[in-house]
Structure 1
Amino acid sequence: MNDKPKSPAKSHGRLKITPSLTPRSLMDEAPHLTGAWEARVITLFPTAFPGVLGESLTGRALDEGRWRLTPVELRQFGEGRHRNVDDTPAGGGAGMVLRADVLARAIAAAQAGAPTDRRRWPLVYLSPRGRRFDQATAHRWAAAEGVTLICGRFEGVDERVIEEYGIEEISLGDFVMTGGEIAAQAMIDATVRLLPGVLGNAASTEEESFAHGLLEHPQYTRPAEWRGRKIPDVLLSGHHGEIEAWRRAEAERLTRDRRPDLWAAHERRRRDGGET
């Protein structure tokens, strides 16, 4: 008989345990730190996640519980024996449309426990007709407690569900994809890297492209000369003021040449006194 006293049960500390209707493996699941930012994704293809989000710094942060990813399978909320999620467009036309009643059930499940204030928890449909995703949107989402993304398929979703829930529509760009899953991963990646502790160096996010409305300046590293091309002398001078001025001038040049839209916005801010 072993008389050795049992160790007291360990406290969960900052870890958060949440109930779920879906069986989970507690040995395999990453810890969920209390207050960790969360992305919930309504999708027909939950196995597409985490995808690339499970790699590199975002993957490490996911494993550490700094953020949480919850795919919500749309099919389980479908109609009938075959779990149908779509139907033909009213008025005729090609393709299929995701049903409002099916999406409503999925949204109710995905939003369980989330704040109803959309500033604290945006509800977003990834749509080519939406406003284009940008760095400001990533910062807005990162400042929230989490976000729920609806990945469309086929010809889109029934307009009534967008109206009923006041869903925000966001586009990855001016092109059409077969579904929203890749766009969702791109937007989540852009947001998660802004969360505290994910990159490990806050200066990285302050100096990169779009942080100040400009494209990033050129970057160089060893060797000092490669195939006859040298690193600009100013970057090897050790004069931080001159380096900063060079980088600023290069960022402005690249933005002016490659993104006239960003340059025009930058000029407007400067005229309005918002930037020197």
Structure 2
Amino acid sequence: MTIGVIGGSGIYDALSLENTRTEEISTPYGEPSGRVTLGELHGRTVAFLPRHGKQHQHPPTDASYRANIYALKAVGVDRVIATNAVGSLREELPPRTLVVPDQIFDRTKHRSPTFFGDGLVVHMGFAEPYCPEMASHLATAAEEATNGETRTEAGGTYVCIEGPQFSTKAESEFYRSQGWDIVGMTAIPEAKLAREAELSYATVAGVTDYDVWKDDSEVSLEEVLENAAANEDAINAVIERAIRTMPDDFHSEAWSALEGTINTPTEAIPKETRERVDLLVGDYLD
């Protein structure tokens, strides 16, 4: 198995990878946010990629989501553990809580949500945006790795906003009224693209703030950075545990997610489109 990890430099720096090497991957969707670092952890091959770049230079809207997922697929990844910093929409999920969500509500506006198009129509199911098998495994790893010292929450809805601005109070109160749990800027289109690439994908999200709904706590970059740094040790422990205990007989329905989803006859797909998506759907078009 090859396990992909998407996160910030603080995550990679703490992973005790052995026999590391970096690969610079070119993709039909541009350059990834950074080089892919490959190494070994507990006998498993791990591929790490920084979502926002090594120096956090890519904002949420402009991060290289398609290139990042394509690059991980290109180096043989079949499952992905992602990390996110999020705001809490619930009193009982205070900063420094870890959440493994199982649902997403998409409020982004300016992002490319698919690898396809240009003469190739694909309609894929996305009712369960996070792979249930991977999310369950991550939730168990979170509970075991933190040993009660960090609050963890299994399940919940992540509402993904465009950013880079934080929410207005009206938006934050609306999200709460819908019963959603956490708010962030990076779940979409990453989760959609991971499903299109047939990767088993789930995330562990670290709560950094209460967004802007709470009268005595209005989100600021300073607070986000301080709590994100405090969350790193717990998140790293969860990732390490999840990798170490990944079952050898792990199976995900995401690995056949493209089956029956292609709505365009193979002979009608332009040659250049077929070449671009060959890594992703070549087996279904032959």
With normalisation by structure 1, the TM-score equals: 0.23
Which protein is richer in strand relative to its size?
A: 2
Q: Indicate the structure whose relative CO is greater, using CA pairs within 8 Å and at least 6 residues apart.
A: 2
